Each structure stands twice: as structure tokens, then as C-alpha cells.
Amino acid sequence: MTWPHGVGIGWRPEIAGFVAELPGLRFVEVVAESLAAGGPLPAGLAALRERGVTVVPHGVRLSLGGAEPVDPHRVAHLARVAELVDAPLVSEHVAFVRAGGLEAGHLLPLPRTREAVTAVVANVRRAQAELPVPLALEPIAALFDWPDDELDEADFLTEILDATGAGLLLDVANVYANARNRGDDPHALLDRLPLERISYVHVAGGAERDGLYHDTHTDPVPAEVLELVGALCARRPPPALLLERDGHYPPAAALRAELDALAVAAGHPVVT
Amino acid sequence: MNTLAAPGDTWGIPGPLFLKLYLLVAVVAVVGTLLHRRRATAGPDPVTADQLGPQQVAYLNGGDQLAIWAALGGLRAAGAIDVRPDRRLIAAGPTPTGVTPLDHAIRHAARQPVAAQKLGRDSGVARALEQLRQGLEQRGLLIDADGVRALRRGRNLLLVLLALGVVRLVAGLVNARPVGWLLVALLVLGVALALLARTPRRTRTANVLLRRLRQSSHHLSPDSAPAYATYGAAGAAMGVALFGTASLYALDPGFAAQAEIQRQALNASSGSSYSGSSGTSCGGSSSSSSCSGGSSSSCGGGGSSCGGGGGCGG
């Protein structure tokens, strides 16, 4: 279990054959909920593990931001999956996906209040107690802000990270999306985030619809996001960057070009 | 002298003597046939076999028809073939790069609208398939016609031997002679014959290569919802070659259904049963699409039969 390093890509069954043929690949991420806790691993993922590629389980359903305590069964699943792939760490979102027994089906943003910080910290600590490896937290892209926000994004995150000791999974595309949709300067946010806490970085494509930028994961990575990756690396180079693509997969050459562009922007060796 | 030929002996040959001779000949015939088959179906060292193209894999996995479907998968992924509202295929766009002779022949046949099921009857397509087959025979992956005939000779010898034994059995029964041991010998021979009944077309090397490919290409299985845009035309063709026309439906369901291509999911067990003795088509005149081998599980939606042309795919 090697800590994520260099440029990686989100492993999805749809592109398993493409990922398998990336000669320089050192790490991938897999949606934790897509794996069976008892195994076996999908053949493509097992082959990557045999090659010594680091696999990081990425949870999307834990609902760490929920007002109610995090579901122990879901934490147990994440823990078992981490052991199954011999992961050095796991990651989850600072968001809630269910409330009052209702499933939103989406990652929903939290109101940035002291109360929310307390709730998230409690849930993260509950999860950390059961997980065999460190946890990294990912702030999500929010298309709206709650009216009762007390903290700005940087303070909100820093408080949670400080209280829990969790790592930061920074999604540069989210930083870009949030800043653009709020009319803020994304570089200003980078200046205020605890970049030394970054475990690894997410980069994804998106598209503008009806005046709002959507973090779709199904479109090419815009030049502005790559530029922001460069700006981040100029401040403090993260150990690893991961391209997330979740559908509308382009021809292999286009996907390779995105990975190469990411490697160039971050100053890492190309993996293609 | 009585012991050698008693008046009651069937055909004047005493039972124990006939049984001894019969067993001797049967053992020699079965062992000889097995040894011959083992040598004739070996194929070259799998390590030395070069990479196989999708259409070669398809031919090995399901003969002429699957090779056509694999080529169609590649052409469709490249945007080089279209289907008209009247369900016939028509060539589209410029010729893609890297086309094989079979791709070329199919596009040539589809200059005029042509039903997918009738592509195999086009003389150019038939010639390309013939080339494909000969290439595989030369590489020692398919057994050629002479080899198939030789394999059948061994099997036919056993069949004659079995028939002789059955006649002797009947004659013995009519003569009211003991036939228990002969019956046992016939049953054993019958089992041996049943095991040898299917004449393989593929060599064992080809089977090994197909098995390896199925394992290493699991990402092309329709179960993985392959991103065909990422894998390109060759990936689409290989998907059809390994996993059947279910891959065509995964690639472009509208196209596959409109062209009335029968949905067929191949798996490891059905893929290995392709044999030359009965060809690859089933369903006779009611269905012009094919199933690989004799597997009853290889045709989706149709139970054990292949069903009519429009029954599965339409």
C-alpha cells in the first residue's frame, strides 16, 4: 500500500481496458460502493493491484454531513473495501445524501454553520474509529449556498480538518465551479485552504448550462481548470492528482491527452 | 476341437474368442483414434501465436457468421455502415483506416441496400471469409478440410466396429448364447464414440488463445458496459468476436435491432463448442442468423432454439 503518487484516473468498469493499458499509472480511485465487501475484486482492478497500482476507495454514500450519526454498516463496508484493495487511505465527501430517512440521490452541500461543523466532526470521528486507514475529506461542488452560512468555505473546511486530523481531498474542478458560480476568485480560495493537508487532488470536466458551471464529470476538463491546477501546484505541489470521468467517455486518444495535460500542468511524469 | 468351433457358435466363432478379438481391435482402434486426434488437434505452441485480429477471433469463436457480425461491429463503431428504415444495411461515409478485406467486402456489398442476414451470400464477402479461414488454417488454429476428414475416418472406424458388435449381439441373442460381456464391451465402445462424436474445427492452441482473450478482455464484455468510444472500432469488433452480438446491442441497440441482428450472448462454455461437423447455423430456413456450436444457452430469448429472424433481434 503505497500512498497515492503522480497522475491517476478514476477506475470505472466502462474504461477498465483503457486504464489497464496506461503504462505509467501508479494509482487509481474506485467508487467504494461499487465493490462487494466480500470480494472478489473486478478482474481489471485485481490486475492493477497485482501490478502494484495503489487503489483508493472513494465513498459517495456515507453522508458524513448528515445530522444523524453515520450508518455503521456503511462505515464497515468502506473499512472492508479498504482492506480488500490494501488501500493506504479512503476518501469521502463533506456532504449529506440523506436526511430523515429520505435518500437525495445527490451529494448535497451543508450549511456552513458551527452546528454543521460539530455534526460533521462527530461523524468523521465515528468513521475514523472504525476505518483501518486514514480518511481524506472532499468538499463538494455546490450550486447554491445556504442563507444561514456563518463561515466561509476555507474556515469551514479548516475547522473540520483541524478537529478530525483528516486529510484534504481537494477537487480543483469544484473550487473552480464554486468560485465561478459565486463570482469569486478561485485563487483567493486556494490561498486560504490548508494546502499542506492535501492527500490528493481531483480534477474533472464540466460544462456551462444556463449561466451556471456544472461539474459534470462527463465533459472535457476546461483550460481554466487546468490553469487552476497549475496555480495550485505553484503554491504547493500535491502528491497526486486524479482525473475523474464518469460517463460520455471520449476516444482513448482524447482521454490520454487529458491525462497528459494534467501531468504537464502538475509537473508530474506522464502516465500514458 | 469342440472348444474352437461348436455347432451352436454364432457365425462359427466361439463367443470367448470373438470377444477377445473384438476387444483387441476395439482397444487398438480407440487408442489409435485418440492418439491421432490428440496430435491432429494440438496446433502450434500458443506462445508463438501472434496477436489475433478481431475478425480472426470471431471466426475461431463462431465461424463465418460471427466474423461478419464482428466486422459489422467495427464498421458501425467507425460510422462506416448504416441501417435504412427498410432494415437493410447501407455503406456510409468514407472508408475507415485499417479496414480488413472482410470490412471492405461488406462495405462493397452494402453499396446497394442489403439485409444483414444476407451478407454471407455475397460473393465478395464469401471470398473474404474464405481468406480468413485459410489464414487461420495456415497458422494451425483451425483444422483444414483434410484434417477434418482424417478425424472423421477414425470416428467412422469405431462406428463400423460398434455396428459389427451390435450385429453380433443380436445374432447371439437370437442363438440364445451368452452376450453379457459383449454388451459391456459395446457400452464402453459406445461411450468412447460419444466422446469422439463431435469433430473439432479448432485446435487446442486456438482454444487456449480464446480462453486467454476472454479473460484479458473482460472489459469488453457487455456486463462491463464498455465505453466503445474509448475502445474504438477494434474494441467494438473484438467485443462482438468474444461475446457475441449482445455486444452489438450494447454498442448500438437501435442499429442492431433495426438491422434485425439476432441477439446472442456467448460465454466461455458456448464459445468452446464450435464444431465443424454441423456448421454454425441453426434454425434452418426459418433463421439465417447463427449460433455458435451446439450450445443451447447461446441464443438469448429463444430458449434452446434459435427462433425466427425477427423473434430475438427485432
pLDDT digits (tens, 9 = 90+) for A37-57: 988 999 999 999 999 999 999
Residues of B with CB under 8 A from a CB of A: 215, 217-220, 224-227, 229-232, 235
Mean pLDDT, range A129-153, rounded to an integer: 84
Option in B220, B225, B230 nearest A252 (CB):
B230
On whether residue A140 sits in a domain, the answer given is: yes
Q: What's the rounded Cα separation, in Å, for the pair A249 and B92? A: 24
Contact A44 B235 (CB under 8 A): no
Mean pLDDT, range A136-162, rounded to an integer: 84
On whether residue A271 sits in a domain, the answer given is: no
The C-alpha of B294 sits at a distance from chain A's nearest C-alpha, in angstroms, of 29
Q: What's the rounded Cα separation, in Å, for the pair B147 and B39? A: 11
**pLDDT at res. B7:** 65
On whether residue A166 sits in a domain, the answer given is: yes
Residue A221 — very low, low, confident or very high, per pLDDT cuts 50/70/90? very high
For A110-152, where are the alpha helices, taking DSSP H only?
Answer: 114-130
- Specify the CATH number for the domain of residue A128: 3.20.20.150
B81 beta partners: B91
Q: Which domain holds residue A234?
A: 7-266
Return the residue in A15, A41, A243, A258 with the most chain B beta carbons within 10 A, the one to mutate for interface testing: A15
Cell 435504412 -> residue = B84
High-pLDDT (> 70) share of chain A, %: 98
Option in A13, A15, A43 nearest B230 (CB):
A15
Option in B215, B224, B232 nearest A16 (CB):
B224
On whether residue A227 sits in a domain, the answer given is: yes
Q: Sign of the CA dihedral A158, A162, A163, A168? A: positive
Contact B230 A14 (CB under 8 A): yes
**Pair type for strands A212-214 and A207-209:** antiparallel
C-alpha R_g of chain A: 17
Contact B224 A255 (CB under 8 A): no
Residue A109 has pLDDT above 90, yes or no: no
Option in B217, B225, B230 nearest A18 (CB):
B230
Q: Which residues from A are below 8 Å from B219, CB to CB?
A: 13, 15-17, 20, 44
Q: What's the rounded Cα separation, in Å, for the pair B132 and B119? A: 16
Return the residue in B220, B223, B224 with the most chain A beta carbons within 10 A, the one to mutate for interface testing: B224
Option in A14, A43, A44 nearest B227 (CB):
A14
The CA-atom distances, in angstroms, between B270 and each of B115, B177, B247, B296, B299 are: 26, 46, 16, 8, 10
The C-alpha of A251 sits at a distance from chain B's nearest C-alpha, in angstroms, of 4
On whether residue A79 sits in a domain, the answer given is: yes
* Domains contained in chain A, number: 1
Q: Which residues from B are below 8 Å from A15, CB to CB?
A: 219, 227, 230
High-pLDDT (> 90) share of chain A, %: 76
Q: What's the rounded Cα separation, in Å, for the pair A66 and A92? A: 13
Residue B15: count of CB within 10 angstroms of its CB? 20
Q: What's the rounded Cα separation, in Å, for the pair A241 and A263? A: 8
On whether residue A2 sits in a domain, the answer given is: no
Mean pLDDT, range A213-240, rounded to an integer: 95
> If chain B, 314 residues long, is cut into consecutive pieces of 10 residues, what is the mean pLDDT of each piece?
60 86 92 92 76 94 96 96 95 92 96 94 96 94 93 91 93 87 92 88 93 91 93 95 94 93 72 40 35 36 34 30
DSSP letter at A59?
-
**pLDDT at res. B164:** 93
From first CA to last CA, the distance across chain B in angstroms is: 76
Q: Is A157:A187 a contact under the CB 8 Å cutoff?
A: no
The C-alpha of B213 sits at a distance from chain A's nearest C-alpha, in angstroms, of 12
On whether residue A52 sits in a domain, the answer given is: yes
- pLDDT, averaged across chain A: 92
**pLDDT at res. A143:** 61
B302, HSE (Cβ side, Cα atoms, 13 Å): 27
On whether residue A272 sits in a domain, the answer given is: no
A20 in B contact zone (CB under 8 Å): yes
